[in-house]
Amino acid sequence: MKMFRTLGIALMGLFVWVGAAQSQTWTPLTHQPTFQTDTALQLTDGTVMVHEYQTPNWWRLTPDNTGSYVNGTWSKIASMASNYLPLYFASAVLADGNVIVEGGEYDGSHSQTNDGSYYDSVLNTWTRIAPPAGWTEIGDSPGIVLPTGTFMLGENMSTNAALFNEATKTWTTTGTGKQDDYEEEGWILLPDRTVLTTDAIKEPHAEKYIYTTGTWISANSTIVRLEDGGSEEIGPMVLRYDGTVFATGGNATGAGHTSIYHPPTHPLQPGKWTPGPDMPKTNDMADAPASILPNGDVLCEMSPGIFQSPVSFYEFDGTKFTQVPNPSNPSMTSYQGRMLVLPTGQVLFLVADGNTIDVEAFNATGNPDPSWAPTITNFPSSVTRGSSYIIKGTQFNGLTTGANYGDDAQMATNYPLVRITNDSTGHVFYARTHNHSTMGVATGTKLVGTHFDVSSNTETGPSHLEVVANGIASTPVAITVN
């Protein structure tokens, strides 16, 4: 539970710190939203879906015809039930391109709601989802889409977990052997198809979920404590392109710790941890966002003490922190930020404090390693507007899950987007992807695929097509749009 946080209001060493790097920049959106923002999700048609702070409402950010989200426009989409107003909730984009939202630490006048809702992204409709049997609360619980495409949810103050059956909108119990409650935990998908968590109660212990058996096993000790001792708050974990996980902490009495997880050679082995550098000054990342960048670094938002302000931003390159510029409004505290990896390689940053309206894009320096990109091997050379096709290749889901936050928000982007650019006009169109063959990350040389629907407004003529995962695009292939 949040011991130092009220609804929408924040209470007022062993590292190498490189001086502020001025080449990274922030670009405010040309058209700022007219509503107070919260969690953002990347839909598979290229648009971004943004929750309006503690309301049932959702909005869509559509990029312009050059593919720019900075110059994109806003439109309102369908709202959830009028009595479902979640704040700090679980969320995910599913393998068919639809969306699930579960729980909420706050829900209007009450807390720890067990409500949930399912969004059909084609019909633009919401359907209420009943909670797993016996669950009286969900609250700010962890959730994740497994490599099979199944959504998994934990009950925040128990060891109960459940798998969502999308066809029947029902739940099945899973997760035996969990050593402590899911309270304040974040989850991250590993290349070996297991799920990693760091315990916030049984610290400094870590655990792995084996989806083939539905059980948790030990993932050894993080060595340093990542949770804040008073509140049990913890920071995000980010899967880096080298296969390691960068795990961050919250600390009320000094600089937050970090630890780096090294996956084992076999998924049933625990793996090992190496303490990383402490955060600069007295910063911590209790309930904070972090995101992978196309250059492989991790963008981190930090607070100078738990839930204090103003925030500062750093990049972590696997060894050290480098300070980068702040966005326009750094007066917030860490838990009031949200991040999302865009197909452009930028990171969308949103202020979620119930008051400030500020959405900006972070522009990183450097380029991705070509080996991180998806590759296209099988594709239709000619497509027709309004029709559906299958495309195949490798690494369509990327090598990472993208941005992360923890138990209060999830915004993974480990699924393929299909981008079509007209050769004559340079205009950009996204084809909605769905029914991906896997939701696993770092699938290597394995042949994977997805379906894509060419929109009716895609311009005709010679074009080129790319598959994009976590902001990194494949080498384009030539197609003709009819």
For 353-385, what is each residue's pLDDT tens digit? Answer: 999 999 999 999 999 999 999 999 999 999 999
Residue 370 φ/ψ, nearest 5 degrees = -55, -25
* Residue that is written with structure tokens 């452009």 in the block: 344
Residue 334 φ/ψ, nearest 5 degrees = -60, -40
What is the model's pLDDT at position 363?
A: 98
> What DSSP line would sit under 73-84, residue for residue?
EEEE-----TT-
pTM > 0.85: yes
Which tens digits make up the pLDDT trace of 406-421?
789 999 999 999 999 9
- Position 23 pLDDT exceeds 90: no
What is the model's pLDDT at position 20?
A: 35
Q: For residue 101, what are its two tokens? A: 């939202």
Contact 332, 315 (CB under 8 A): no
Instruction: Provide the pLDDT confidence category of residue 269 given band limits of 50, 70 and 90.
Output: very high
What is the model's pLDDT at position 110?
A: 83
Residue 372 φ/ψ, nearest 5 degrees = -85, -15
More confident residue, 344 or 20: 344
What is the model's pLDDT at position 314?
A: 98
> What integer is the mean pLDDT of 86-103?
98
> What integer is the mean pLDDT of 422-432?
98
**Alpha-carbon torsion 292, 409, 347, 448, what sign?**
positive
What is the model's pLDDT at position 252?
A: 63
Instruction: Provide the pLDDT confidence category of residue 7 given band limits of 50, 70 and 90.
Output: very low
Which tens digits make up the pLDDT trace of 172-212?
999 999 999 999 999 999 999 999 999 999 999 999 999 99
User: Please, what are the domains in the chain?
Assistant: 13-363 (2.130.10.80), 371-481 (2.60.40.10)
Radius of gyration of the chain (CA): 21
What is the model's pLDDT at position 9?
A: 33
- CB atoms under 10 Å from CB of 64, counted, come to 15
Cis peptide before 310 (omega within 30 of 0): yes
> What integer is the mean pLDDT of 435-455?
98
Characterize the bridge pairing of strands 290-292 and 143-145. Answer: unpaired
Residue 75 CB contacts under 8 Å (≥ 6 apart), including other chains: 59, 60, 62
- Position 254 pLDDT exceeds 90: no
What is the model's pLDDT at position 95?
A: 98
What is the model's pLDDT at position 415?
A: 98
Per-residue DSSP letter, 128: E
Q: Measure the CA–CA gap between 41 and 386, rounded to whole angstroms.
A: 24
More confident residue, 408 or 122: 122
* Residue that is written with structure tokens 């804040």 in the block: 228
Q: Considering only 183-187, 227-231, 283-287, 370-374, which range has the smallest mean pLDDT?
A: 227-231
**Alpha-carbon torsion 364, 250, 264, 91, what sign?**
negative
DSSP 3-state of 336: helix
Half-sphere exposure of 100 (CA within 13 A, CB side): 28
What is the model's pLDDT at position 109?
A: 78
Report the chain's mean pLDDT, rounded to a whole number: 94
Q: Which amino acid is at 65?
A: N
- Position 50 pLDDT exceeds 80: yes
Q: Which residues pair with 28 in a beta bridge?
A: 360
- Position 10 pLDDT exceeds 60: no
What is the model's pLDDT at position 229?
A: 85
Q: Measure the CA–CA gap between 240 and 219, rounded to whole angstroms.
A: 18
- CB atoms under 10 Å from CB of 370, counted, come to 9
Of 319, 322, 312, 325, nearest to 285 (Cα)? 312
Residue 371 φ/ψ, nearest 5 degrees = -70, -15
